Homo-oligomer: A and B are copies of this chain.
Amino acid sequence: MKPNNETLELLNRHGSVRQYKDTPVSEEQLAAIIGAAQMASTSSNVQAYSVISVTDPGLRSQLAALAGNQAYIEQAPVFLVWCADLYRLREASTPHLAGGNSYEDTTENLIVATVDVALAAQNAAVAAESLGLGIVYIGGIRSKIAEVSELLGLPELVYPVFGMCVGYPAARAGLRPRLPLQAVLHHNGYDTATTLEQVKAYDEESRVYMRERTGGANDTPWSAMMAKRISEPARMQMKDFLQAKGFLRR
């Protein structure tokens, strides 16, 4: 029998929300969402993330422009910027280090902080959806990452990984089909043949989905969309930016 419960149903009906009602999200709701985020697993308890709630209208509108003018960034009652944060950890550690070596600037620690913030944010997303709210992740804030960091006064060893709109949905998009399970789940080793075979099936499925969603105007398969995406240089400043902020130096 297929396992089911309230939480699984919630996870399985996730779709990003890009139109929000005016209805506010209360302080208590926000605290419950961030509190649930904090309970996610964290590597050796480093808790290497911070989240910035942006309510100031001027700031919000500047961030929306920097992220590529997506209207919902201004419309959503809550806009959160999720940051990987090794600054707190480094500052808290300094008095104990007695001037000795420290390794916050490694590639390993960039991964630790990036994973930590993503686990916390996904718990926040699930918590918000459990309250009847909708969310959308905003990777667009990385397009102008230096400007976003400056606006939010991010210190060294902090970088904005993604934004997140939260609010009551005014409209919901249909659920977008995902790759077949067998494309992502391997057994005892990576199976290149199966994953690529499954992509072919998914290409057909995604064509049908796009055709229906666009009234026939678009039937691009997934692999062609991915090709378009990786054929264009995007956010090429990331390495220099992260190194300037104290990450990824070795």
A-B contact pairs, 19 of them (CB 8 A): A2-B28, A7-B7, A7-B126, A11-B127, A35-B181, A38-B179, A50-B185, A54-B188, A91-B196, A93-B227, A102-B230, A103-B231, A107-B242, A111-B142, A115-B161, A118-B119, A119-B122, A126-B126, A158-B190
Q: A222 — which chain B residues lie within 8 A by C-beta? A: 45, 92
Distance in angstroms between the alpha carbons of A29 and B155 in the assembled complex: 43
Q: Are A106 and B3 in contact (CB under 8 A)?
A: no
Within 8 Å by CB of A7, from B6, B50, B225, lies B6
Check B88–A231 contact: CB distance below 8 A. Answer: no
Residues of B within 8 A of A94 (CB): 227
From A68-76, A211-219, A233-241, the one touching the partner chain is A233-241
Among A8, A95, A106, A139, which residue has the most Cβ atoms of chain B within 10 A? A8
A224 to B92, CA, bound (A): 8
**Chain A residue total in the interface (Cβ 8 A):** 126
Question: Quick check: A36 and B51 within 8 Å, CB to CB?
Answer: no
**A137 at interface by CB-CB < 8 Å:** yes
